[in-house]
A = this chain, B = another copy of it.
């Protein structure tokens, strides 16, 4: 389940203010993947927060990366941890948090939040 080829979709650019700790948040409510157990589509909101070291993630490439999960069969817990692993591997941020807020399944809403580094 570790990231293999999706990271190729991610582009980064140089952080103009590397000496300052500032917070960047990107959030989309248009995330969808497929439940590996039932084959049913899952929907959710993904929120990525980070403090950059030398690199920032380019917005359009992030969008394409997130869209690449559309027809993947993957559990909630793994979606969030994989996005975190992939972004950390290309950006090496000082701190990063990835949060997924998923729509209800069988009356249950689920949220998964994973963190890399210290804030």
Q: Is B108 within 8 A of A77, CB to CB?
A: no
Minimum distance in angstroms from A59 CB to a CB of chain B: 6
Interface size on A, residues (CB 8 A): 44
Find out whether the CB atom of A17 lies under 8 angstroms from the CB atom of B67. no
The docked-state distance in angstroms from the alpha carbon of A81 to that of B109 is: 21
Query: How far is it, in angstroms, between the C-alpha of A112 and the C-alpha of B25 when the chains are bound?
Result: 6
Q: Could you list which residues of chain A lie within 8 angstroms of chain B, going by C-beta atoms?
A: 1, 15-17, 20-30, 32, 40-41, 43, 56, 59-60, 62-63, 67, 70-71, 77-78, 80-81, 103-115
Chosen A-B contacts, 6 in total, with CB atoms closer than 8 Å, are A17-B114, A24-B110, A28-B109, A41-B67, A60-B106, A104-B104
Q: What are the 5 closest A-B residue pairs judged by CB atoms, nearest first?
A: A22-B114, A25-B111, A30-B107, A23-B113, A63-B106
